[in-house]
Amino acid sequence: MIKTIKNFVANKVLVAAVVVLIGGFFGYRHFFQNKNHQTQYQTTTVEKGTLVVSITASGQVSSANNTSITTQASGVVKNVYVQNGQVVKTGDKIAELELDLDGRQRNSQAWSNYQSAKNNLESAKITIYTLQSDMFSKWDTFKTLAESGKYENSDKTPREDMRTLPEFYIAKDNWLATEAKYKNQENVVAQAQTALNSAWLTYQQTSATIYAPISGTVTGLSLQPGTVLLAQSNNSGTATSQKIASIKTNAPPQITVSLTEMDIPKVKIGNKVTLTLDALPDKSYTGKVISIDTIGSISSGVTTYPAVIGLDTEAPEILPNMSVQANIITEVKDNVLLVPTAAVQTQNNQATVRILKNGKLEIVKVEIGLSSSSQTEIISGVNEGDLVVTGIITPNNSPAGSQGRSVFGGIGGGAFRMGR
């Protein structure tokens, strides 16, 4: 009997211990599940600062500070008078060739054209001298007639009733006709001078001596004595020039970027720009917008507007046709309230932000101003120092230790945890 009682008591103690253990396990699990089911808020403080609004555009470095040294001559290089990196002036000798047969023929034809253009200019000048003499003669005849007593009163006022006679009109028209011919011949002389200049430049292009077209620094020159230059021509057989080197001036390089229809109204002449280049990833440059083509161009149904950006300083390491990314600053506002753009929610044209006050989440209507990709100006609705919610991290049903999920993204300056 005593043994039976002892067994009964022992079994009750064992059952009680099991109950306590099971209860402790579920209590422990419930405690930590509740802890893991807390909601966390990513927040940042409303601060005053400077808002910089910009747009991005891509483009290339233009060759505005470069020109090519070209020639239509052909033959064997005899002498090279310059080297890469050397500074030259307009008209300096670059190289000299011994012309081949094609080169001699082109050069002779160019010289003949130059002489013909020169003769045309001299003939035009002789003609203008003749017309000038005739004009003055006709003017003198008309003036003498108009100042005679028949056509002029004693007080030197014109006799309008007499000046309707044919004799007066004939003299006047003769003078006006010669004056018109003289003025027209002035245009003929100007055209003949232009033709002469063109003929001379063509002759220089075919000359055995190659000259510098502008002043600057020689780059890309690969000629050396013995190099053979072959005659170049297009499909119609017309002589064409070939490039032998370049000349770079001291002007800062220019960048041409393409603006979209949405961006073109925001960009103005003089806007500051920061630039980066794929070829020079460790450097950045500054400049400003100096030109905007408001006509634009259409390609595959897409309209773009070229804008030219001038650098603030010389940058010899930047070469023509390099790819460029431009950040054009369109607006700058100082001392304004700023929040992350991701914190602003808009619905039915009403902007709101979530703020934490005394540990409680509130939705506040705000009036917004300018916005960049990362920051938005708040005109009214919040105050400096308010905690703005940029993201909410809610628990999921994953096993303990797994990460929560953010219901709306953003950048936060901290985290605030609340129980459910």
> What is the rounded distance in angstroms from the CA atom of residue 79 to the CA atom of residue 89?
18
HEC string of 354-387 equals EEEECCEEEEEEEEEEEECCCEEEEEECCCCCCE
Quote the pLDDT of residue 69: 93
- pLDDT 10s digits, 343-402: 898 888 899 999 888 878 888 889 998 888 888 999 988 889 888 888 877 766 444 333
Quote the pLDDT of residue 396: 60
- pLDDT 10s digits, 248-302: 888 888 899 999 999 999 999 999 999 999 999 999 999 999 999 999 999 898 9
Quote the pLDDT of residue 327: 94
Q: What's the average model confidence in pLDDT over 57-83?
A: 91
Contact 153, 159 (CB under 8 A): yes
Please state whether beta strands 93-99 and 75-80 pair in parallel, antiparallel, or not at all (unpaired).
Answer: antiparallel
Q: Which residues contact 6 (CB under 8 A, 6 or more apart)?
A: none
Does residue 409 register a pLDDT over 50?
no
Q: Which whole-number Å values give the CA distances from 282 to 45, 239, 253, 288, 323, in the listed order? A: 33, 45, 19, 21, 15
Instruction: Give me 217's structure tokens.
Output: 């620094």
Does residue 317 register a pLDDT over 90?
no
Length of the chain: 420
Quote the pLDDT of residue 273: 95
- pLDDT 10s digits, 17-51: 444 455 554 444 544 455 555 677 788 899 999 99
Choose between 360 and 171: higher pLDDT. 171
- pLDDT 10s digits, 182-239: 999 999 999 999 999 999 989 999 999 999 999 999 999 999 999 999 988 888 878 8
Determine phi and psi for 349, rounding to 5 degrees: 65, 15
DSSP code for 114: H
Quote the pLDDT of residue 395: 65
On average, the pLDDT of the chain sits at: 84
